[in-house]
Chain A
Amino acid sequence: MSDSVLLYAIIYLAAAAICVPLAKRLGLGTVLGYLGAGIVIGPQLLNVAGPSDKVLHFAEFGVVMMLFLIGLEIKPTILRSLRRDIIGLGGLQVVVTAAAIATVAIALGVEWHLSVALGLVGAMSSTAIVLASLDERNLLAGRGGQSSFAILLAQDLSVVPILGLFPLLATVQAVEGFRFVPEVSQTLTLWQQYQPIFKLLLTLAMAGALFTAGHYLLRPLLGLLARSRSREVFTLVALLLVLSVAGLMELLGLPPALGTFMAGVMLAESEYRHELEAELQPFKGLLLGLFFIAIGASLQLGVVTANPLRFLLLLAAILSLKLLVVLALARLFRLPKRAGFIAAFSLAQVGEFGLVLVTYGRQTGVFTDGIANEVATLIVLSMFVTPLLFIALERLALPRMAERNATRPHDAIRSHNAEVVIAGYGRFGQVIGRLVRVAGFEVTVLDLDPEMVDMLRKLGQTVYFGDASRHELLEAAGCGKARLFVLAIDNPDTSLEVAALVRRHYPGLPIIARARNRQHFSALRRLGVERVVRETLASALEAGELSLQQLGMRAHTAHRLATTWRAHDQANLENMLGYHDQPQDAWIDEARRAIENMEQAMVEEAAGMGALHDRGWATDAAPHRTSPAGTRQVVAIRPPGHDR
């Protein structure tokens, strides 16, 4: 057995090492990578996974740990600030989706206990996949992304009561799961002796007891450990804590995950939250990875190939049902249409928590092996479909929405003779717009973020919703008569598109453009945009100037140095424009020469007002660090590369 442990460890890790990066590369996310790895080594394909059931039982500890970490995340303050979205929108999503699925199942003749359990499983979405996908598409910070986040958080939280509820839904003989403590005797296991309703009460009582005990005992203990400054001991105790809470719960016949969740919550406000999180995160990651591989390996994909049509219909049914529920709730909560669609499309799949619940349901006698396998397969399929749903969202749903939205405000642009047109009104454009307006110039602003536009309008600013990459909109905004076009769009692709459009249709209109980086800068300059500002340069230089001051340099000297640096950097950048299509060697030679020239120039500037302070003055060659009271400490600047 010990040989095979090593062998299986190698097989599992190798499969993960190959499949996870591949899945990430394909935009599928790590969870699907693990599941894919499991399917590959599972009985369907290579059949080298060995006793995946045993591995699964062991890996369930990853789930227990995950719940501890989720508990740690639950800070009452966060819950309060998001309570409307989490409890209202999120809570309703779980309840309504579960009820809808259960109703359909009952209508199809499924026994009601089982139907409810299936509904609860189906209400879950994939936190891991959805958050990563939204983030990737820059949608997470928007209203749609935030609503999705709140719903996912509500789902994560609802896992806890669902775990407590599952034993009540048991209709079949439970299968043995992973145990933290060996079963000593039947009499010790209270689980078998109490009626379900007592189990629930006991669960709640235990949760309360854990919460109180932990607050008064654990925090002082952790404080003692933290003061001992021994990292290993802290890790060890964190693990010990989670294991013993899980073990204790199991001794009482209660769901271990529930106990660790409560332990997490009670430590969420403690000062050791971040340490505990950091110490346990790697364990959780590994074990959860193992958990998903094992699930993938245990899937009996035969059920799909046996009746593909049935599975396809089930899949379509569950996806559309979940999608419609979120859409309806979004309307009920008066979310913007766009936000509602984003949330609905991203949350349509069933997620990893569903898999957790299926596994747990199998152990508590809610699902038979056969049903558990079918449901798990369906869940995994729905997860694999998620990227397609995101493509549908981006290609079909959102563009149409933008069309419909755009007709609302942009036809309302008054044809006043604005002297300045600003495209893009985020943090960057707003500063420009306000400054130019204060100076008394008429400004027309275009932005594509409907929420931003509404917000700024409420603040009394003249802002129009509109896509600056459309010619007719530029014309409506008055580009034909304007004296200046400010291109403050952050996305480089969009920015270049608009720049090209303005250059083509309004060749005489001066453009001042914001560039994200050097590549964007060069591309804009090559398009013929005369004045391009790199977006973080000025603030970085200001911070550099402050740093020099903090190090004891005179403020004005630091300012001159920073200004000199900026001028040379700018000149170099302009100079490099001519080299972008040259062979790389020529480009590198030139870049190297530019850096040397710049260093030379900085050395000269660092010598201070050298021209003024010639030999006629009593000057110091050596730096000194004494300073008179009432003035800043004075040091001579040391040019780089000189001896100390």
Chain B
Amino acid sequence: MASILILFAHPAFEHSRTQRALVAAASNLPGVTLHDLYEAYPTFHVDRRAEQALLRRHDIILFQHPLYWFSAPALLKQWQDVVLEHGWAYGEGGLQLRGKVALHAVSTSAAEFEPEQGSGPTCNVRQFLSPWETTAQLCGMRFLAPFVVHGFRVDTHPEQLREAAANYRALLEALLDGRVDLDKAAARPALNFDLGDFIRPPAGAA
């Protein structure tokens, strides 16, 4: 059974309904460690050794955050700069993350993704995450497509948030059980729809 480290970064969590639903969906799953970065480092003083120890203990690293200005909130960038040391994560002798899996679970706001402005609902998010994808590759990690929740839909369609949360939990459970086809999951634009296409049903299920 695999283990998942969720690196959760949200500077205004108390205002976010979407992220709250996702955090609730990720809670109480054996094998999942939820690490609330803005709570742990209110002053941005990231503890390098502690973070590296956490990374070492988990197989799957999941960055869960809102998409701010087509990227991650500032603390996650700080985390990246401090923790992913040369000689540890990459470069000579930097083998600590090799073979692990990386992916993002992001929520978006309406402003960036209004359909009438011509951008498709999900296809662009993966492009925005390309610096993270390159980083993961540099560290020898397997980078999967992001799990995306669009905030503007949640506002008008609360049932869609429930559905997104259920899908998120299903994805996490499948990752824990090793039922995710990593090749297919890496090739898709996103993981938040048609879950049956890359997830095998649990053993014993019809």
Residue positions of A touching B, CB distance < 8 A:
545, 553-559, 608-609, 612-620, 623, 628-632, 634-637
Contact = CB atoms under 8 A, between A and B. Distances in A.
Contact of A620 (B17, B43, B111): B17
Given A555-B38, A617-B151, A629-B28, A636 B14 contact: yes
Contacts of B41: 556
Interface in B136-157: 151-152, 154-155
The 6 A-B residue pairs with the shortest CB-CB distance in the complex, in nearest-first order: A616-B109, A559-B42, A555-B42, A616-B111, A609-B12, A616-B110
B36 interface: yes
Nearest to B111: A616
A275 B119 CA distance: 75
Interface stretch (B18-26, B48-56, B95-103, B181-189): B18-26
Nearest to B24: A628
Given A614-B111, A617-B151, A631 B34 contact: yes
A554 B152 CA distance: 25
A554 B20 contact: no
Given A555-B39, A636-B14, A618 B154 contact: yes
Contact of B15 (A553, A616, A619, A631): A619
Given A614-B109, A634-B14, 9 more contacts: A559-B43, A612-B11, A613-B16, A616-B110, A618-B17, A629-B27, A631-B8, A634-B13, A636-B15
22 contacts: A545-B42, A556-B39, A556-B42, A557-B12, A558-B42, A608-B12, A609-B12, A612-B11, A616-B109, A617-B15, A617-B18, A617-B151, A618-B151, A618-B154, A618-B155, A620-B17, A628-B26, A629-B28, A630-B23, A631-B23, A631-B36, A632-B39
Contacts of B18: 617-618
B101 to A, nearest CB: 21
Contacts of A630: 23, 27-28, 34
B15 A628 contact: no
B23 A628 contact: yes
A554 B68 contact: no
A83 to B, nearest CB: 47
Tier of interface size on chain B? 35 or more
Given A614-B111, A616-B110, A616-B151, A556 B38 contact: yes
Nearest to A615: B110
Q: Chain B contact residues: over half helix, strand or loop, or mixed?
A: helix
B103 to A, nearest CB: 19
A556 B43 CA distance: 7
Contacts of A619: 15-17
B181 to A, nearest CB: 28
Contacts of B109: 614, 616-617
B8 to A, nearest CB: 8
Nearest to B152: A616
A615 B152 CA distance: 9
Contacts of A557: 11-12, 14
Contacts of B110: 615-617
Given A612-B68, A614-B111, A631-B23, A620 B15 contact: yes
A613 B8 CA distance: 17
A558 B18 CA distance: 22
Contacts of B8: 631
A442 B13 CA distance: 46
A617 B73 CA distance: 15
Nearest to B28: A629
Nearest to B155: A618
A218 B114 CA distance: 82
A554 B15 CA distance: 11
B67 to A, nearest CB: 10
B71 to A, nearest CB: 12
B202 to A, nearest CB: 23
A609 B23 contact: no
A609 B38 CA distance: 13
